[in-house]
Amino acid sequence: MREIKLNDLDNIVLGEEQAIPFLSANSYPAMSDKYIYMVSETRVSPIKEIPTWVGDVCRLAYKPRTEDLAGDKDGWIEIGHAGPEETGFPRNHNPGILTDTKGYMLSDDELVMYFTPAMTGENWLWSYDLYSATFNLKSYFK
C-alpha cells in the first residue's frame, strides 16, 4: 500500500510503500462509508498439484475505516470465503469486489465478490470462468 496524493497534478506525491499484515499479493479493497472490505487469495490447504502457484480460497474481510489500514492484522475480521467446499473447485483465485468507478461499494446491504475457479492437473488452464459470491451484509451487521 502507498498513499498517493493527486489533488495537485503538477505536484503528485507518492508515499512510501508499506506491507499490509494479513494480506496476500492478490488482495483488492472496496470502501463503504464505515468499512474497508478486502478480498484476498489465500492458500489454506497444502498445494502440490498444478497449478501450485494458484490459491485455493478467496477470503473476504473488513475493518472499520477509522482503523489504520496497515495496522495490526488482528484488526481484520473475516466475513466469509469461497473455497473448494463452496465452489466445487480445488483452486479459487484472482478475487475482486463489484464497486462503482471510484472503488466504493454499490450498497451497504450486500457485497459481490468475483473470483476465478480452476481445476487441477493437466487441464487446469482450460477450466477458468468467472464466478461470484454474494454476501448479505445486512444480516452480518445486525
For 57-80, write each residue's pLDDT tens digit.
999 999 888 887 766 666 788 999
pLDDT digits (tens, 9 = 90+) for 84-127: 999 999 999 999 999 998 888 898 899 999 999 999 988 777 77
> What was the pLDDT predicted at 56?
94
Backbone angles phi, psi at 57, to 5 degrees: -135, 135
Report the predicted TM-score, pTM, of the whole model to 2 decimal places: 0.81
Backbone angles phi, psi at 28, to 5 degrees: -140, 135
